[in-house]
Structure 1
Amino acid sequence: MTHISEITLLIAVIALALWPVVLFALRFLRERQKRLEYIERMTKDEQDEVTTKDLVISVLKKIGCQPKVNEENHITFKYQGDDFYIAAEEENRFIMIWNPWWGSINADNEALPYLREIINLANVNSLVTTVYMVDEDEKTIGLHSRCHTFFSPREGELEEHMKMLLDYFFDMHNVIKDNMNQLGQAAINEEEKKERVKVKGFSAYKENTMPIETKKEEEKKE
């Protein structure tokens, strides 16, 4: 048998071996789509039998998002341009919503202690809480917001509930930004020029973030 024939035979064997897997994957995707479409037509009593993850996916689609399930079994999507992911707890109908890497600041930035204090104060009375974590390079501190909440069909209109929760993340962003702007305004007359504070939106999301500038920095540009 020639070398080419051996390669051809090997390809044929691999194709035959993979074909059942391909068929299974196609069938799985088709059944999943049918299940999600069915969820949209179900009553709330019927939805109680649906998994939390499938319920979340269906609701996200209804509010215009394009959810996907990643390798960690988390539901990933974008909302108003920001990255989000949701971890669903099937046994008790709770979900954890994360808005990762929406902001960051250099670890040696002199404004860091003030930013930490702002975040801690903002967390006191907020449904959404923000945490800060040191990146792998130990030079950047990332800002990540999260919300742990009950998510059940019996809680009312799920679409409006989801939008309210997601919008609340941006309210938290604005609280932190506004306080940082006030900090910048108070420092305008200081002689020392401080390093620009960046708040730009886990590592896979880091590159998609936007910087926040204080009023002091905006006036410097003008």
Structure 2
Amino acid sequence: DGSTQPEASADIQQEEKQEEPPHTKDLCIELLKQLNCEVTVLEENENRLYFEYQGEHIVINASNDSYFIEMWDPWWCIVPMDDLEQMSNVRKAINTINTHGGVTIFYSIEEEGQKFVLHSKRQCILTKDIPQVKEYLKALLGDFFTAQNKLREEIVPLRTEN
């Protein structure tokens, strides 16, 4: 029966397409360059991309073997640990913001300098099959700024509560 041949051919093409590696890191570098970002890759970790986007230092972990990328905006806010009220306000704001978005804000404590340091992170898929993939990546990067703005908005009301 000749009617199943196009279906079989489509299945074979789909299998061949799936066997091809995703080339996610290469795509990511290409898109970042289109966004006028200068990308640095260190020898120690060839899957970690460093670049600046609108004044923020961003890191993306991307491999050519996976469709997933991990995006980081490290060290974007520092609160002195001796300011307990501010630390409390920031922690409350982080908990509120993290329930409503794709970007997760978290903190680390830098013991030596007695600093409460904020970072943001998100995981997502990046593939050339996404429509308007450059705009998609641009929107993902923009979400880091949205999260920072939401934190600022949340802290002001928290200060008036205390």
Equivalent residues of 2:77, 2:118 under 8 A apart: yes
**Matched ranges for 1:71-82 at <5 A:** 71-73=44-46, 74-82=48-56
Deviations 1:111-168 (A, max 9, x none): 2112101101100111011010011416101100011001111122111011100111
Identity of aligned residues (%): 30
Equivalent residues of 2:39, 2:49 under 8 A apart: yes
1:91 aligns with 2:103: no
Q: Secondary structure at the match of 1:85?
A: strand
Equivalent residues of 2:87, 2:116 under 8 A apart: no
Instruction: Name the Cα RMSD after superposition.
Output: 1.9
1:133 aligns with 2:105: no
**Matched ranges for 1:19-98 at <5 A:** 49=21, 51-70=23-42, 71-73=44-46, 74-98=48-72
Give the Å deviation of 1:50.
5.6
Point out where structure 2 has 5 or more consecutive residues left out of the alignment: 1-16
Which of these two proteins has the greater Rg computed from alpha carbons?
1
After TM superposition, where is structure 1 displaced by more than 4 Å over at least 4 residues in a row?
Answer: none
Q: Which has the higher helix share?
A: 1
Equivalent residues of 2:26, 2:64 under 8 A apart: no
Equivalent residue number for residue 128 of structure 2: 153
- The count of residues paired between Structure 1 and Structure 2 equals 141
Distance 2:133 2:60 in 1: 15
